Amino acid sequence: MADRQLAAGAPRASGDPMTPDHANHGQRRWLSGTVAVLGVVISLYTLIEVNFNWLQPQASLALFALLGYAGCFALAWGAARSRWSAILQAMLLALSTLCFAYIVVQTQPVFQSVWPQGQALGNRVAQETLVDTLVGVVGLLVVLYAAQRTLGWTVPLLAVAFVAHSWYCYLSSQYGWPMLPEWMLPHRGQAPRDLVSTAFLQSQGVLGQAMNVMFRYVFLFIVFGAMLEMSGATQFIIQFSQRMFSRSPGGPAKMAVLASGMMGSLSGSAVANAVTTGTFTIPMMRNSGFRAHDAAAVEAAAGSGGALVPPVMGAGAYMMLEFIEPPVTYLEIVRAAIIPAMLYYWSLFVAVHFYARRLGTTGRLRMEERSGPQPPLPVYSGAIFVASLTVLLGLLIGGASPFRAVSGALVVILGMSVFAPQLGLSRFGRAVAVTLFMAIAVGHQIYVRTATDFFALADGMARQGESLLNSSILGMFGLIGWSLVDPVWRRSSWPGLANTLRNGIPLITAAACVGIIIGVVQQTGIANDFSQVMKQIVEHNLLLALLGIMVTSIILGLGVPSVVCYLLIATIMGSLLKELGVVPLAAHLFIFYFGLMSMVTPPVALAAYAAASIAGANALQTSWSAFRFALVGFTLPFMFVYRPVLLLLGQDGGPLGWDDAGYFVSGLISSCVGIVALAACLQGYFRGPLGWRWRLVLLLSSLLLIAPDIGGRTMGLVVNGMGIVLFVWAVFAAPSARQVPVSHN
């Protein structure tokens, strides 16, 4: 996405070899090569640092940001329209490098000789030097500019608003400026130097919680997805989904739903998902009779829900570990996300099924007739996919940290890829790869056992497992190094690693800018004040509070990566739902869910726009169609907030007990049936095409089935029962396809 936005203004090529375009062609190639090298470097650096922690925490984040911003401005330099624009981008590249390098130098002990008075930057809080402050000011301007260029105006303007609010409050309290009204949440504020310290220099702002999440969790999954794609797992997912639904009505659309759900769980990016799987699925849907904007809409809606799918959840589960209070475990988050993910994709399946049935037999695609015999299923690639996810989940269940679990899964991917038929490595290449891995891993084990007490090490299974994992990860670096040297393997490994930075730039710049907001919020306590004001406004009306958070999440999520939207809303509003009695895990899933839904909400629906570009469809028309397909899913967060049993939680947020089993079954059945009723109403087809009267009946049935248990469980069962009665009536009495002519509109 960053590539597309940064290069949007690139000049057209000219046929005259003496034109400026051709004169700059070599420069652009050099910059593109630089970004590719930076992508490989940042991937290796992240894997090394998160596993072995060689740097101080703030220095490690600063170096990560330095590489990200260097790639950002190198791309902008290559896309510059004029010489002055190129000079500006080159200057910004140099300034961003200097600012973040300054943080590294001022926090890493090896550079202690150049620290003012021998004190690290973290020990100079409220005593920063003039140089510190100047670096902070320049760094903040660079961060805001990069966020605007890669994300648009929403996030940087919001960051500026929070900084300006804090500064004005300081001027009011210190110099008698007019006080802000109560609804604008006045506080003591911060002086400019303190704001710069909070927002950039210290560990609360740009290099704070948001950047740490990107570094330790999200970026690793970008690398994980790149390596899976290199192994051929993407092709396996596409072909597996194709075989599952090739003869089903709306088969290509159902294939897109399944493939996008599987891929989206790993990438966590709706836009990347739409581009990756949409390249295959959208043309198939077009061939089966889907209109261009509807084919793109199905892909966008399916891709946007991928980060809801366990076990990976696009790193969303790991972000929640940082925010939910009281703390929960990874497995609790994954367990809670299972039913909502199933219900969301169930809603898409029934929606595309009814849509395809309304189209008639043109909604069916026979792959053999359309494109010849199907290629053989890449079984080995499927084995890599399954094995890597099994290892990932097994390590997490065993208590490993998320980044260690991802690293272990990468060992499996790279190790099995050595023998992957589609890579076509020579015997010599495979022999070198295996030898490198074994030599490094075994050598490390020998070193560990000679440098430590062998019996003490072998005495604990956990310590023994940790030692073996370390050896395997070190061996993995040998495999990565050989994959970049071997001429055959390099053709797939180099582009995969190189593109990690291009895919990560929007997340890095967004995390830095959001860090400014988080730093100001945490330093001033404005989040608690906001929660109190909102609580007074809604007057304990939970539904009104949920609607407000839904609208806020969607608005702030327009044009912003969903993970960043979650970080924003969780920081500002996370405590509000808890104060209104919502189970904390349910509250954070609610916020995360609607951050994802912003990807298909007009007018700025990035996933829909990306899919529309592939389908050659109108972007706005596609976004409205995607919104219609995903609309059923908009009811799901309200369901699980009012019915925590759908998250496999008891009403008090504890584990689901046997006394909740009946309530869980009834809630699940009513939700599934309600989704079918609502999808049929929206698509205008059930047993056959529907008139407006039967659509109203099904709409009423769906509302009664998915209605929250406001009056208690007994009243909820009564209301759901009324919905079931209406649904059964529609099953037997609604017009069938034999009674009403099929419409192809």
Q: Return the DSSP state at 180.
A: P
Print the domain residue range for 115.
2-124
Mean pLDDT over residues 314-331, rounded? 79
Secondary structure, 3-state, 260-312: HHHHHHHHCCHHHHHHHHHHHHHHHHHHCCCCHHHHHHHHHHHHHCHHHCCCC
Number of domains in the chain: 1
Q: Which two tokens stand for residue 475?
A: 């061996």
Confidence of residue 234 (pLDDT cuts 50, 70, 90): confident
C-alpha angle with apex 662: 702 to 704, nearest 5 degrees?
15
Within a domain: residue 703? no
Higher pLDDT, 190 or 267: 190
Q: What sign for the dihedral angle of Cα 565, 571, 575, 578? A: positive
Within a domain: residue 119? yes
**559-595 burial: b if 16+ Cβ within 10 Å, else e:** bbbbbbbbbbbbbbbbbbbbebebbbbbbbbbbbbbb
Residue with tokens 């440098």: 451
Within a domain: residue 452? no
pLDDT at 711: 64
Nearest-angstrom CA–CA distance, 374 and 89:
48
The answer to whether the CB of 284 falls within 8 A of the CB of 255 is yes
Within a domain: residue 62? yes
In tens, the pLDDT along 190-224 reads: 999 999 999 999 988 999 988 998 898 888 888 88
CA distances 725 to 475, 670, 698, 728, 736, Å, are 62, 11, 11, 5, 19
Confidence of residue 702 (pLDDT cuts 50, 70, 90): very high
In tens, the pLDDT along 665-697 reads: 888 999 999 999 999 999 899 988 888 899 999
The answer to whether the CB of 526 falls within 8 A of the CB of 185 is yes
Within a domain: residue 34? yes
Mean pLDDT over residues 518-538, rounded? 76
Q: How many residues does the chain have?
A: 745
CA distances 426 to 184, 423, 486, 490, 609, Å, are 67, 9, 10, 13, 42
Q: What sections of 152-287 are H helices per DSSP? A: 154-175, 192-196, 209-213, 219-230, 233-245, 251-267, 270-287
Within a domain: residue 292? no
Mean pLDDT over residues 465-484, rounded? 92
- Three-state secondary-structure class, residue 204: coil
Q: Which amino acid is at 579?
A: E
Confidence of residue 281 (pLDDT cuts 50, 70, 90): confident
Confidence of residue 472 (pLDDT cuts 50, 70, 90): very high
Q: What sign for the dihedral angle of Cα 707, 710, 711, 716? A: positive
Q: What sign for the dihedral angle of Cα 322, 326, 331, 333? A: negative
Nearest-angstrom CA–CA distance, 226 and 406:
13
Q: Return the DSSP state at 201.
A: I
The answer to whether the CB of 65 falls within 8 A of the CB of 100 is yes
Within a domain: residue 431? no
pLDDT at 314: 65
User: Quick check: 546 pLDDT over 90?
Assistant: no
pLDDT at 707: 76
CA distances 685 to 677, 724, 741, Å, are 10, 18, 12
**In a 10 Å sphere around its CB, with 0-12 CB exposed, 13-18 middle and 19+ buried, how is residue 447 labelled?**
exposed
Q: Return the DSSP state at 689.
A: B
Residues 6+ away with beta carbon under 8 Å from 128: 121, 136, 193, 196, 197, 201
The answer to whether the CB of 622 falls within 8 A of the CB of 293 is yes
pLDDT at 81: 84
Confidence of residue 561 (pLDDT cuts 50, 70, 90): confident
pLDDT at 454: 53
Percent of the chain topping pLDDT 90: 36
pLDDT, averaged across the chain: 83
User: Quick check: 363 pLDDT over 70?
Assistant: no
In tens, the pLDDT along 622-633 reads: 989 999 999 888
The answer to whether the CB of 474 falls within 8 A of the CB of 440 is yes
Nearest-angstrom CA–CA distance, 130 and 92:
21
CB 539: neighbour CB atoms within 10 A?
8
- Three-state secondary-structure class, residue 655: strand
pLDDT at 480: 94
Q: What sections of 525-541 are H helices per DSSP? A: 526-538
CA atoms within 13 A on the CB side of 471: 18
pLDDT at 738: 60
Among candidate residues 550, 660, 652, 538, the one with its CA nearest the CA of residue 601 = 550
Percent of the chain topping pLDDT 70: 88
Cα dihedral 331, 332, 333, 336 in deg (nearest 10): 120
Q: What is the DSSP string of 386-441?
A: HHHHHHHHHHHHTT--HHHHHHHHHHHHHHHHTT-TTT---HHHHHHHHHHHHHHH
CB 437: neighbour CB atoms within 10 A?
23
- Three-state secondary-structure class, residue 707: coil
Q: What is the DSSP string of 712-745?
A: -HHHHHHHHHHHHHHHHHHHHHSPPTTTSPPP--
Q: Which run of H or E residues covers position 555?
A: helix 542-556
In tens, the pLDDT along 434-458 reads: 999 999 999 998 888 787 665 555 5
Among candidate residues 378, 86, 80, the one with its CA nearest the CA of residue 243 = 378
Please give the backbone phi and psi of residue 308, each rounded to the nearest 5 degrees, phi first.
-85, -10
Nearest-angstrom CA–CA distance, 253 and 279:
13
- Three-state secondary-structure class, residue 685: strand
Q: Which two tokens stand for residue 644?
A: 């925590």
pLDDT at 180: 85
Within a domain: residue 83? yes
Chain centre to alpha carbon of residue 478: 29
In tens, the pLDDT along 599-609 reads: 888 877 778 88
Among candidate residues 734, 723, 724, the one with its CA nearest the CA of residue 694 = 734
pLDDT at 17: 36
**301-334 burial: b if 16+ Cβ within 10 Å, else e:** bbbbbbbbbbbbbbbbbbbbbebbeeebebebbb
Q: Which residues pair with 649 in a beta bridge?
A: 655
CB 14: neighbour CB atoms within 10 A?
12
In tens, the pLDDT along 39-94 reads: 999 999 999 999 998 999 999 999 999 999 999 999 999 888 888 999 999 999 99
Q: Return the DSSP state at 710.
A: T
Please give the backbone phi and psi of residue 334, each rounded to the nearest 5 degrees, phi first.
-60, -45
Q: Give me the helix-helix angle, 20-52 and 490-524, nearest 10°.
A: 70
The answer to whether the CB of 139 falls within 8 A of the CB of 100 is yes
pTM for the complete prediction?
0.83
pLDDT at 315: 67
Confidence of residue 710 (pLDDT cuts 50, 70, 90): low
